[in-house]
Chain A
Amino acid sequence: MCLGVPAKILETGDGAAVVELGGVRREISVMLVDDVSVGEWVIVHAGFAIEKLSEEEAEQTLALFREIAGADESRNR
């Protein structure tokens, strides 16, 4: 039930951070996540970072997608 968007940390400060998504910036609370640093990705819901996004895990899922799409292509050849 919960919209959340992946956003990149631009600045960090006292319990808060400025994040960016597609050129849009907003200050959010980072009280729910451990020491975020600039350049990391977080999921933002209702003005809070609810968790960090693991770029490595994302890449693995995307690799699986490429594999599935590739297998599909070779099947249709």
Chain B
Amino acid sequence: MKYIDDFRDPATAKALIERIRRDAGDAPVRLMEVCGTHTVAIARGGIRPLLSGAVTMLSGPGCPVCVTPDGYIDAAIALGRDRGALLASFGDMLRVPGKSSSLEKEKGTGLEVRVVYSPLDAVTLAAATPDREVVFLGVGFETTAPAIGGAIKTAAVRGVRNFSVLSSVRTIPEAMGVLASDPDVRIEGFLCPAHVSVVIGTDAYRPVAETYGIPCVVAGFEPLDILLGISMLLRQKKEGVARVENEYSRVATSSGNRKAQELIRDVFVPCDTGWRGIGVIPGSGLRIADRYAPFDAEKKLGIPVVFAQEKTACRCGDVLKGKILPVDCPLFGKACVPEEPYGPCMVSSEGSCAAYYKYGAL
């Protein structure tokens, strides 16, 4: 397939790995892939072991499923149970544990959840079932925010009044700032997300590169993109510079997608928000703007999302910050496995613990 297979060529992968090994220093360089899609691509490509000794890839907090607080899941269940809403969700959210249950478990006892591919499909569902409130579980980062916002605007224009969104939208640069300034994390380079960058523009990482002196490279999600991105990070380190570079220039630009940015500004307002395992990060959330309140499920149906940091043996927070590897968590593979996940990083297919567990047990 065009623009996919070209970026999976085995001979080029081999050459890139050799180049990375040549550029590596004596000690492994600590790089972080911020984004969960990178985490999964690295795991599925068996890339981590290929770089061992040269590069240590830490997995960051860029998995929306992992960082969605359990209070969000509890609110979603309450919307279905107590308000009779029909829930529409991306497939990713079904197995995420709330305080005591998950959407999948509740589905078994009558909660109605429809898995959709696009938020627009949820608007279509609402239009087709006018006697039911359809609540879309709007989780994601800047890539998904305009799609969720686009669905809200579409519902407004079409006059679909029985559609609303339970929003848990987050922004990446603020989280990167928290990690960059944490002395325990010690990141020597950020592999920045492909599609978040398409929306916000690669310039968004300049403060991280300039303030903290950490090299940043925006890279695509195919194996060759990832390897070239890592290689570019190593070359920056070798030269002793910290810039923002763009490996994904076929799609991402320095200023990003202005139309998508405008739509986000129209529908959402920045807010402080809680990240599971990390805590509240100021200005890292997007809530639905007051003028779209009729589409805000929390306000419309009076079910707020409550964020509470829980005391637990689960080390997901440290995993999400790259402080420890999944295998260093006392629960990993014992009390916490993909079929009975204890922590969020084991739930999502792109969670770093799940990726380690699934693809890594060699």
Contacts and interface: CB of A to CB of B under 8 A. Distances in A.
A46 B90 contact: yes
Interface stretch (B93-101, B144-152, B300-308, B311-319): B144-152
A68 B260 CA distance: 35
A65 B228 contact: yes
Interface stretch (B48-56, B113-121, B202-210): B113-121
Nearest to B249: A57
B14 A72 contact: yes
Nearest to A70: B15
Secondary structure type dominating chain B contacts:
helix
Contact of B119 (A41, A47, A54, A55): A47
A4 interface: yes
Nearest to A62: B6
Nearest to B5: A22
Interface string A47-58: 110111111011
Size bin of chain A's contact surface: 35 or more
B27 interface: no
Interface string B1-30: 111101001011011101100000000000
A57 B36 contact: no
B62 interface: yes
B37 interface: yes
Contacts of A53: 3, 250-251
B12 A50 contact: no
Contact of A54 (B19, B37, B120, B251): B251
Size bin of chain B's contact surface: 35 or more
Nearest to A26: B117
A69 interface: yes
Contacts of A72: 11, 14-15, 18-19
A38 interface: no
Contacts of A34: 259
Interface string B146-162: 11001001100000000
Interface in A32-77: 32-34, 41, 43, 45-48, 50-55, 57-58, 60-62, 64-66, 68-69, 71-73, 75
A54 B90 CA distance: 29
B1 A21 contact: yes
B118 A48 contact: yes
16 contacts: A1-B36, A4-B143, A6-B2, A31-B263, A32-B259, A45-B143, A46-B118, A50-B143, A50-B260, A51-B198, A54-B250, A57-B250, A58-B3, A62-B6, A65-B228, A75-B18
Interface of B: 1-4, 6, 9, 11-12, 14-16, 18-19, 35-37, 62-64, 90, 117-121, 140-141, 143-144, 146-147, 150, 153-154, 193-196, 198-199, 221, 224, 228, 247, 249-252, 257, 259-260, 263, 350
